[in-house]
Amino acid sequence: MTSRFDKTGSALQATAAAGLLGLAMIVATHTLAAYDALRERAFDVLLSHVANPSLTAPVRVVDIDRQSLERFGPWPWSREQIARLLSDVLAAEPAAVGLDILIDGADERSPAALARRLSELTGSAAAKALTEGLQDGDEQLAAAITRKPVVLGLALDPDRPGDPLPAAPILARGNIDLSGIWQAAGAAGPPPVLAEAAGGLGVLALAGDADGHVRRVPLLTAAGSQLRPGLALETVRAANQASAYILASGNMIRAGSLAVPISADATLRLLPPSRIAMEQRTISAVDVTTAAVRANLAGKVVMIGSSAPELGGLRLVSGGALVPTVQSQASAAAQLLERVHPLRLIGGDLLETSAQVLGVLAGLIAALWLPPLRAAVVTIGLTLGWIGLSIMALGARQWLVDPIAIPLALVASYGLAALIVAIHARRTEAALRRRFEQHLAPELVTRIAQDPSLLKLAGETRVASILFTDVEGFTAMTERSDPTLLIRVLDRYLDEMSAIIVAHGGMVEKIVGDGFHGLFNAPLDLPRHADKAVACARAIREFSERFAAEPEPRALGFGRTRVGIETGPVIVGDVGGGTRLDYTAYGNAMNTAARLEAANKDLGSAICIGPGTAALLVDASMLRPLGKLEVRGRSEAMEVYDIWPDTMPPAHRATYLKAISTAATAPHAARTSLAGLVAEHPGDNALAGLADRIC
């Protein structure tokens, strides 16, 4: 291993990736037309949940539909016919009328216009006299529109410089930002006779967004050097009988009682169209002459236009429906009257960019510092919280706050950081499994892999039970053995020994030749670790006796396995200078366990247990004292133990304990008692060795 499994690497990678992602998203949300279209569709969804004022607003649409074209003739209509329609509408006493039809230039189709043309071509006095008695379409239309405020339409014209039309009454006060306003070199509009008779002139332009959908109606435009109001705004001004517009600081436009906040592009964001509202406010031009219909127009703002495809007035709107431009103008008028004007805040981009940065940071922090489930819950909660904030801002203040940029930044940052952390965790888990699966029980490896922080690889002090083993006479055996047979037998022995230590909850800290160093209670807590170390020693003794009796080990002269156990504080951790790390333990308990393992040779025992382990055993009655032992590195002799043989009955155990307790004061009697026990248990080398040591 070349890593200590901390989170530093993954945290740095995740931070760098999230930072780059956040920067890319900020650039994308400010420059890509595709994102603008996505954001506008999100606004469409939010706006669709705002009450549509068109259902109750005093706005009506007189539609020159196909039925009207069949009744009054195909388009284009003469100005006399338009004048007749306007006369019928104005007879209903509406508050104002907006004409969503461009009347460009002087009339050329009325009898008077044709006679004037003939007079100009021929110079005939008779032709000139004829014009005086004929009806003029412009004059008829001018006479009709003087009865009530009628707003005629203008078209922005990039090829017509200058603007000979009457100037709009617009006064400006203070600093006003109109940097995004629609502009053209000039405007096309009605002849002077109509322009002077009209109650106002309004721009008809409806431009689509990047996806081709019309979502905005201009409130103000620039034609040459003149500011021009849009048709809907001008019609509402006329209905309010306001004489002029006032542009005030803070981007506010006022006209009488009307006060509308505007953005830099001076447009009004339309609500998604309501099919029900459009049907309820629409009247066919055929029906205008009826009394009931006229009553429905009284006191209302009336917009006149056409839904007939041949007039070319159909536009895609939000939702993908084709809607007549007159309906969009009517919706704009309704929103103005009901004071529904959703608006992007001035400085909103900076606010949303800051929120995007915070969203990236929040996603990163959640991925790095919270458990996966909690991180996901927090991320979802923050995402829904921002969407809820966008809805509240729209409902309470009519602010259009981007509902998706910040959640996208948050979710993307969290997802990317979580992916990097997960990849790092998988690598760490795999490395940990490779590192410890041969040394620890599977359930402990799983715990470590799931939570590497359980490991204190940098170093810690633990009270652990240490188990050392060695095969008696192994070096001499290797010198006389067939190498192939020796390796085969040793492989089996090492595998079996590792399995026994791991099965008892221990860790194989090291294998040195034929010897094992086992740790109990490291690297993780192991309840009753002293008992489990002793149980492991008994299992090793039983295994080694069986193993040595098998044909191949017996042919090699495979010796018995000696075990030393001691419990005490040790320092454990990864050591290796960062290039070849090794989880190792250091301390007196390690040295003592090694000495006890070696002492078995002199004691005649197979298992030698130190006092530290004996003191922690739940059932110390299993231990047989072997007397005191001088251990190098210890200032005083220590009591050592092995495990009572199963073949020694209680009476013999009592005799043994009495003999060892009187050995110092009555050595002869003790030796005599032990000699009797040796005769009863001729294979007990530890018993024979104790008898020999008593002087």
Q: What is the pLDDT of residues 467-481, one digit of tens each?
A: 999 999 888 888 888
First to last CA, the chain: 55
Residues 419 and 507 in one domain: no
Q: What is the dihedral of CA 134, 137, 140, 141, to 10 degrees?
A: 180
pLDDT score recorded for residue 369: 83
Which CATH number goes with the domain that contains 608?
A: 3.30.70.1230
Query: What is the distance between the alpha carbons of residues 548 and 2, in angstroms, rounded to a whole number?
Result: 39
Q: Are residues 602 and 511 in the same domain?
A: yes
482 and 620 in a common domain: yes
- Kindly state whether residue 142 falls inside one of the protein's structural domains: no
Domain final residue pick, 313, 337, 361: 337
580: in domain = yes
Q: Which domain holds residue 693?
A: 646-695
Whether 563 and 678 map to the same domain: the answer is no
Domain end (from 337, 371, 386): 337
Residue that has been written with the tokens 């400006």 in this structure: 172
Do 570 and 675 lie in one domain? The reply is no
Q: Output the six-digit token pair for 560.
A: 């018995």
In angstroms, the CA 432 to CA 446 distance is 9
Q: How high is the pLDDT of residue 306?
A: 94
358 assigned to some structural domain: yes
| Residue 505 is assigned to a structural domain of this protein | yes
Q: Which of 337, 355, 390 is the last residue of a domain?
A: 337
Predicted pLDDT at 436: 59
**111 in a domain, yes or no?**
no
H helix runs in 481-584, sequence order? 483-503, 529-549, 551-556
From residue 429, give the alpha-carbon distance in Å to each of 8, 440, 449, 567. Answer: 16, 14, 5, 30
CB atoms within 10 A of CB 422: 13
Residue at 119 is within a domain: no
Q: State whether 518 and 580 are in the same domain.
A: yes
Q: What is the 3-state secondary structure (H, E, C) of 323-358?
A: EEHHHHHHHHHHHHHCCCCCECCCCHHHHHHHHHHH
Q: For residue 270, what is the DSSP state?
A: P
321 and 361, same domain (yes or no): no
- Residue matched to tokens 């009488």: 256
Q: Which long-range contacts (CB under 8 A, 24 or more apart) does 484-488 make?
A: 485/552, 485/555, 485/556, 486/556, 488/552
How many structural domains are present in the chain? Answer: 4
| H or E, element range at 574 | strand 561-575
Number of Cβ atoms within 10 Å of the Cβ of 453: 9
Both 637 and 650 in one domain: the answer is: no
Phi, psi of 31 (to 5 degrees): -125, -25
Q: Which two tokens stand for residue 151?
A: 């707003």
pLDDT at residue 1, as a whole number: 36
- Tokens representing residue 581 in the block: 């790390």
Within this chain, do residues 213 and 81 fall inside the same structural domain, yes or no? Answer: yes
pTM for the structure as a whole:
0.66
Count CB neighbours of 51 within 10 A. 12
The residue length of the chain stands at: 695
Specify whether 184 is located in the same domain as 261. Answer: yes
Q: By the 8 A CB rule, do 189 and 165 touch?
A: yes
Roughly what angle, to the nearest 10 degrees, separates helices 405-436 and 372-397? 180
* Any domain includes 53: no
Q: What percent of the chain has pLDDT over 70?
A: 87
Beta bridge partners of residue 420, listed in sequence order: none
Q: Which of 540, 481, 551 is nearest to 515 (CA)?
A: 540
- Is the preceding peptide bond at 309 cis, omega within 30 degrees of 0? no
Token duo for residue 607: 């298992």
Contact 507, 437 (CB under 8 A): no
Whether residue 379 sits in one domain with residue 239: no
pLDDT digits (tens, 9 = 90+) for 18-30: 778 778 877 877 7
Q: With the CA atoms of 39, 41, 43 and 45 taken in that order, what torsion angle do they form, in degrees rounded to the nearest 10?
A: -140
Strand partners, 573: 584
Give me the average pLDDT of each 10-residue run along the chain (695 residues).
Answer: 48 76 79 85 85 74 94 90 93 94 81 60 54 71 88 89 80 86 90 92 89 92 90 95 90 91 91 89 92 90 93 86 94 93 82 88 83 90 93 88 90 83 70 57 53 59 94 88 90 91 88 90 88 95 93 91 95 63 81 93 92 94 91 82 92 90 84 87 87 77
In a domain, 474, yes or no: yes
Name the amino acid, one letter, at 303.
Answer: M
The pLDDT value given to residue 455: 54
What's residue 422's pLDDT?
75
* 480, 541: one domain: yes
